[in-house]
Structure formats: C-alpha cells, structure tokens
C-alpha cells in the first residue's frame, strides 16, 4: 500500500556499498598531500594557541587545529568522526569557549613577569624532552607493522556509521549509558554555579493586585493630572488649572516644588495673568 515515492526513497536509503574484500591499506598520494598540508596547519594552530597573547586569538588558533584534525579523520577512513569533530567539538565546544572568553576572560592577558622564576624555561625544556621521547618511541615502535585499514569495516553491515552504532549498543553499552551520568552532572553543575533563585523575596505585584490595592485604599482612582497645558509655557513646573482657574495641587511635583520659587515665578505669573504683557510692537492675534 506504500506510495511509489516512498518505495523509491526506501530503496535509496537501503543501498549499501559493495562489500569490499580485504585490501591492504596503503597511503594514497591524495592522502599524503592532504596530510602534508593539514598536519603542519594543525601544528601551526597549536603553536599559535600556545604563543598568542590574547586569549580569544588562542581560541581561534585552536579552532584551526580542530578543523584540520576533523579533515584528517575523514581521510583516515573515519568519516563519521570527522563530521562529529567539526560539528560537536569545534562547533559546540569551542564556541562555548569563545562565549565564556568574551564574557569573562578577555581582558586578562598573561603577564610577562614570572611568578615562579624559570618556570617557563623549565616547562619548555620538559615539553621538548617529552616530545622527543614520545616521537622517538612511537616512531620506532611501528616500523614493521602493516596497517590493516578499515575498508572492510566501512563497507559492511551499514558502513562506518552502522558499525559504530552496533559497537555502541553491544561492546560499549555500559560506557554509553554511563556518559548520561556525566551529562546530567554537567547540567546540574552549570545550574548550581550560575542560577540565582528567587529566595523568598515577594514577586512583583501583578497588574490586577495593583488595581485592587488602589481601589481598596480609597484614594484617587484615576491618574493624576499632568503639568499645565503647553499653550502658555513648556515647563514641567507649570501647574495645571482647575475649571475655576485655581491651581491644581495634584499636578505639582514635590521635587519641583522644592525648587526655589523665584525661578518659577515667571511661569506662575504667566498663568495667573499677571505676567509680562507684550508691548505695542509685538505681533498679536486677532484678540484686540
């Protein structure tokens, strides 16, 4: 009863690559070129991260390294891992680093003055020594070993992704489930260290509560009158007038009332009609 489109789609999805018989794994020219471009790039990124003064620059150099490593995984017959490296490691984790650096760590650049004398020199010597040791031992260790390659594993039973999935649910099932504990702990930790709860302080009153309060107290229900109309003056200190011509006390602000009255006397006089009268040369409307 399925639609032809669905049939075509499921046939497409169910395609498997032709199973490859065991092939001796050799390093092709393409792979060699990619390695010699990306390898030094990754190293440059690492050294850039180490020597950059600005922390944000360090993070960006590390992004360069991680992207190169992502491509190196892809050419080493680990396509899924290459994509996960770029999407998850570079795309999520390094972006998180950049966020935090922008928020907190940007301004503090490392000082040149050393706290422990000779620490940098000692660390550099130790690092070079360790590098020489590791490179020497690893380099000598595998000279006679023939690489088996993953051609078979990547083309049977669902390919690279399918086989990784199978392993996750059979051989490494418990480790897979245990990482959930790790992720819960991470979420819990972030919450503890970053979330300030509302601690018994009363919440802000809602609009409804404010209105009820205003009505119950029996005070004025409407809003208070604003300052005087801007026909005669444009100062906020201008009092509003009630219908009988008297000044409305409620439109006066305490702050302005505290102002020295002499500075406001002109405005008050204007309103009361005792202010400065224009002389005969002033332009008037059709009043006279």
Q: Segment 82-141, which members bind another protein (CB under 8 A)?
A: 84-85, 88-89, 92-93, 96-97, 100-101, 103-105, 108-111, 115, 119-120, 123-124, 126-128, 130-131, 134-135, 137-141
**Least Å from the CB of residue 203 to another protein:** 15
**Least Å from the CB of residue 272 to another protein:** 50
- Beta strands per DSSP E along 87-218: none
166 near another protein (CB under 8 A): yes
Of the ranges 4-12, 217-225, 239-247, 249-257, which one interacts with another protein (CB under 8 A)? Answer: 4-12
Burial 203-220 (b: 16+ CB within 10 A, else e): eeeeeeeeeeeeeeeeee
Of the ranges 168-176, 216-224, 232-240, 248-256, which one interacts with another protein (CB under 8 A)? Answer: 168-176
Say how far residue 35 (Cα) sits from the centre of its chain: 33
Distance CA 151, CA 156 (A): 9
**Least Å from the CB of residue 113 to another protein:** 9
Distance CA 125, CA 161 (A): 42
Encoded one letter per residue, x for contact with another protein by CB under 8 A and - for no contact, window 176-215 reads: x-xx-xxxxxxxxxxxxxxxxx-x----------------
**Least Å from the CB of residue 204 to another protein:** 18
Inter-CA distances, 226 with 210, 221, 233, 253, 255, Å: 21, 15, 13, 10, 14
Closer CB to another protein, 200 or 285, in the complex: 200
Say how far residue 123 (Cα) sits from the centre of its chain: 34
Closer CB to another protein, 130 or 215, in the complex: 130
Q: Which pair of tokens denotes residue 37?
A: 């471009």
Contacting residue, 175, 231, 258, 282, with another protein by CB under 8 A: 175
Q: Which pair of tokens denotes residue 137?
A: 């031992």
């Amino acid at each position: 009863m399925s639609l032809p489109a669905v049939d075509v789609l499921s046939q497409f999805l169910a395609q498997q690559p032709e199973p490859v018989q065991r092939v001796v794994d050799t390093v092709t020219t393409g792979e060699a070129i990619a390695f010699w471009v990306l390898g030094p790039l990754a190293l440059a990124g690492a050294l850039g991260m180490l020597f950059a003064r600005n922390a944000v620059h360090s993070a960006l150099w590390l992004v360069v390294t991680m992207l190169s490593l992502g491509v190196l995984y892809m050419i080493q017959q680990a396509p899924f891992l290459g994509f996960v490296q770029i999407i998850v490691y570079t795309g999520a984790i390094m972006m998180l680093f950049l966020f935090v650096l922008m928020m907190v760590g940007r301004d503090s650049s490392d000082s040149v003055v050393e706290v422990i004398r000779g620490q940098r020199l000692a660390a550099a010597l130790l690092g070079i020594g360790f590098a020489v040791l590791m490179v020497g031992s690893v380099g000598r260790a595998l000279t006679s070993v023939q690489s088996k390659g993953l051609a078979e594993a990547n083309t049977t039973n669902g390919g690279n992704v399918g086989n990784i999935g199978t392993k996750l649910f059979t051989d490494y099932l418990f480790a897979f489930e245990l990482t959930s504990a790790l992720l819960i702990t991470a979420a819990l930790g972030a919450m503890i260290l970053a979330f300030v709860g509302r601690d018994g302080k009363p919440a802000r009153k809602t609009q409804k509560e404010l209105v009820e309060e205003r009505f119950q107290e029996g005070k004025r229900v409407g809003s208070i009158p604003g300052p005087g109309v801007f026909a005669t003056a444009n100062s906020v200190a201008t009092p509003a007038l009630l219908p009988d011509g008297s000044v409305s006390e409620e439109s006066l602000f305490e702050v302005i009332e505290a102002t020295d009255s002499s500075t406001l006397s002109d405005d008050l006089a204007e309103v009361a009609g005792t202010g400065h009268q224009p002389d005969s040369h002033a332009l008037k409307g059709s009043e006279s």
